[in-house]
Amino acid sequence: MRLLLDTSTFLWWIAGDSRLPKPVRDQLLDPSNEVFLSCVSTWEIVVKNILGKLPLPAPAASYVSNQRSRHRIDTLPLTESSVVHLQKLPQLHRDPFDRMLICQCLEHGLRLVTSDAQVVAYPVPTLWL
């Protein structure tokens, strides 16, 4: 499977948080799966860190990069072809970061790893919900 972690999932995964169910952890550990973190999630982490809403043990940019490498997670850039999917999405979810992740999943054939119940209303495959 090709998996795109949403921001919360990434943060829980790297922290070993118990909110991440065992079946999800198993899929993230499966070497046959490709696991990605979007630059959109990095953007969200940096913004929340700057605003003081997300304390991190190191500067956000280096922290995310180091954790991605440590956990063998590839980066997924945001492309124009992903962004244009926005015009097709119904206005069900107001979070712009999550909407971009949905667009990237549609563009790249990825399964979104998320606990966000609002995402399942979109035509994107998910893991977890």
| Burial classification of residue 30, based on how many CB atoms lie within 10 Å of its CB (0-12 exposed, 13-18 middle, 19 or more buried) | exposed
pLDDT of 90 = 83
Give the pair of three-digit tokens for residue 57. Answer: 């043990």
pLDDT digits (tens, 9 = 90+) for 44-85: 999 999 999 999 999 998 999 999 999 999 999 999 999 999
What is the C-alpha separation between 108 and 82, in angstroms, rounded? 8
Predicted confidence band of residue 120 (pLDDT cuts 50, 70, 90): confident
What order do you get walking across the sheet with 2-5 strand by strand?
Answer: 74-76, 34-38, 2-5, 111-113, 126-127
| Burial classification of residue 39, based on how many CB atoms lie within 10 Å of its CB (0-12 exposed, 13-18 middle, 19 or more buried) | middle
Domain chopping of the chain, boundaries: 2-127
CATH of 2-127, one of 3.60.20.40, 3.30.565.10, 1.10.240.10, 3.40.50.1010: 3.40.50.1010
Is residue 129 scored above 70 in pLDDT? no
